[in-house]
Structure 1
């Protein structure tokens, strides 16, 4: 006759996983079917100190803006001749609409400021519009330093891309290395990952900037 089973030897039910029911963000890692998973770690790195750009560096920023503006105009107006105009004065965001209207009116264009800081005009010569934007550009922030751009790249790669994957919208195109990312940003051709299905909800769950810059 068998003795009664020792209660201490009976197998116990497995304890629930500490992560069960938390609703934590989880990233599929290693295999497409997500057999291994790990939480996307928060990005806690501190940004490098910002160093303001020199006058020469800011002048290069405005020249790059002028070049981009002209390239867009030339693509839509074949045969247009680029005017020989130079930057005269950088204008604050608040004063920019009024300054542009003043410049356009001086060129004989019927322009006016509309609600919300917009500008409206009729039958405007696009070359004159370009000239006014080059002569009186809106003030731009000091560009990121190499160290700041490298920090931004680290955020995109270590947090933003995994966050997209967790949310079901993985970014599947090529990702530049840190040096290439910095070089492209400084050349006016910044890279930013935008997955298929990008919308406001995804943007709010996966912020485009590091927490320290939000």
Structure 2
């Protein structure tokens, strides 16, 4: 079963560097973020650009359906609301429930993927009704900031927790080759279904915003 992987989720990099309680010692991550300063900002998408990107993503959802069910008939779906990626769980869950889909208790509505054609049509309807709100293209300055965060904090932190993070490319290559730079530090010693995985990500957030 093919699964549509929301690749652009990795690009949600709008950062707010939160300070710890007054008087508390700063963590290594706090010190790195303090050193880096605020995340560079980019130009917002125009309404036309946002609609175009949303339409493109909805088309990808449908292509995921027909890859598994070639004879499926595409339902007509109106966009109810484009939703920030971090806030899609509730509207997707409610929508699926309203379409008779029972998501297993050990899965989120956002990660659930259909096994039958009726489920696939419901899945597409809900994904298209509440598509992720697109973000502006990441800028070179933002990529440079991300590279610095990954190399100064994430990679060393993961190595301390038992991973063997490969040597990064140069900062210039990371920026110019994105998103095909072939390097992004992740835990290598545990898998996502290992209880230790979440603990490592809590200790070593892979993104500057802490998620």
Q: TM-score range by the shorter chain?
A: 0.5 to 0.7
Provide the secondary structure at the position in 2 that maps to 1:42: helix
* Alpha-carbon distance in 1 for matches of 2:167, 2:65: 30
Which structure 2 residue ranges, 5 or more long, are not aligned? 1-26, 191-196
Q: CA 1:52–1:82 in structure 2 vs 1: closer, same or farther (change >3 Å)?
A: farther
Higher helix share: 2
Q: Is contact 1:86–1:134 with CA below 8 Å preserved after alignment?
A: no
Which residue among 176, 179, 183 is the counterpart of 1:179? Answer: 176
- How many residue pairs get matched? 162
Encode CA deviations 1:57-99: one digit per residue, 9 max, x unaligned.
323442343244234334433x335637565332554544444
Task: Compare relative contact order (CA 8 Å, sep 6+) and give the higher one, 1 or 2.
Answer: 2
Q: Is contact 1:90–1:137 with CA below 8 Å preserved after alignment?
A: yes
Q: Does structure 1 residue 89 correspond to structure 2 residue 42? A: no
Question: 2:49 — aligned with what?
Answer: 57
111-120 vs 159-168, which deviates more? 111-120
How far 1:184 sits from its partner (Å)? Answer: 5.0
How far 1:160 sits from its partner (Å)? Answer: 1.6
* Alpha-carbon distance in 2 for matches of 1:170, 1:125: 43
Which structure 1 residue ranges, 5 or more long, are not aligned? 1-23, 26-40, 105-109
Q: Is contact 1:85–1:135 with CA below 8 Å preserved after alignment?
A: no
Q: Is contact 1:90–1:136 with CA below 8 Å preserved after alignment?
A: yes
Higher strand share: 1
Q: Is contact 1:87–1:137 with CA below 8 Å preserved after alignment?
A: no
Encode CA deviations 1:137-181: one digit per residue, 9 max, x unaligned.
244363453132332233223332233234331213775621222
Normalising by structure 2, report the TM-score. Answer: 0.53
Question: 1:125 — aligned with what?
Answer: 118
Q: Is contact 2:79–2:128 with CA below 8 Å preserved after alignment?
A: yes
**Considering only aligned residues, what root-mean-square deviation do their CA atoms show, in Å?**
4.3
How far 1:132 sits from its partner (Å)? Answer: 1.0
Question: 2:204 — aligned with what?
Answer: 206
Q: CA 1:153–1:122 in structure 2 vs 1: closer, same or farther (change >3 Å)?
A: closer
Q: Greater CA radius of gyration, 1 or 2?
A: 1
* Alpha-carbon distance in 1 for matches of 2:202, 2:124: 38
Question: 1:193 — aligned with what?
Answer: 185
Question: 2:24 — aligned with what?
Answer: none
* Alpha-carbon distance in 2 for matches of 1:164, 1:144: 28
Q: Is contact 1:150–1:178 with CA below 8 Å preserved after alignment?
A: yes
Q: Does structure 1 residue 73 correspond to structure 2 residue 65? A: yes
How far 1:209 sits from its partner (Å)? Answer: 1.9
Any residues of structure 2 matched to 1:92-103 within 5 Å, and which?
Answer: 92=83, 93=88, 94-99=90-95
Question: 1:164 — aligned with what?
Answer: 158
